[in-house]
Amino acid sequence: MLAQRILAFVAGMFGLATVVAGARVLAGTDPGFVVFRPLVIFNTVMGVAYVASGIVTLRSLARGTFAAATIFVLNLLVLGVIGYLYAAGSAVAIDSVRAMTFRTGVWLVLFLGLARMRRGSRVAGK
C-alpha cells in the first residue's frame, strides 16, 4: 500500500536525520543553541529506533503501528520530563522543549496514520 510505504519512508528519513544531527552534536559540533546532553543521547538512540520502525512498517502494518505507538509514548514521557525540568529552572533550554514537542507530534501523526490504515484494512477484511 502506497500510504504505508510513505509513512515508513517518513519514519526512516526522520530517523536518519535524527541520528546524523545527534551524532554531529555528540562529536562536538556546535548546533548554535544550548543542548541538554542527556536529551541528545536519547534522541540519537531513538533515531536508530525511528529507522528500525520505518523498516518494520514496510514489512508489517500491525508491527509498524505498534512501533510508532511505542515511540510516541516514549517521546511523550521524555517531553514531560524535560518540560518539568524546564519549568523547574533546570539546564533544559526552551529549544529542547520545542524539539521534543515536534518529535512527539511527528510520531503522533505517524501512529494515527498507521492506526487508521490498520483499522481500514480490518474493516475491508484484509
pLDDT tens profile 85-98? 999 998 788 999 99
- The domain tally of the chain equals 1
Query: Which residue range(s) make up the domain with 88?
Result: 2-123
pLDDT at 91: 78
Q: Contact 57/11 with Cβ under 8 angstroms? A: yes
Q: Contact 64/4 with Cβ under 8 angstroms? A: yes
pTM: predicted TM-score of the whole model, two decimal places: 0.91
What is d(CA 76, CA 120) in angstroms, rounded to the nearest whole number?
26
Can you list the residues of the chain whose pLDDT is less than 50? none
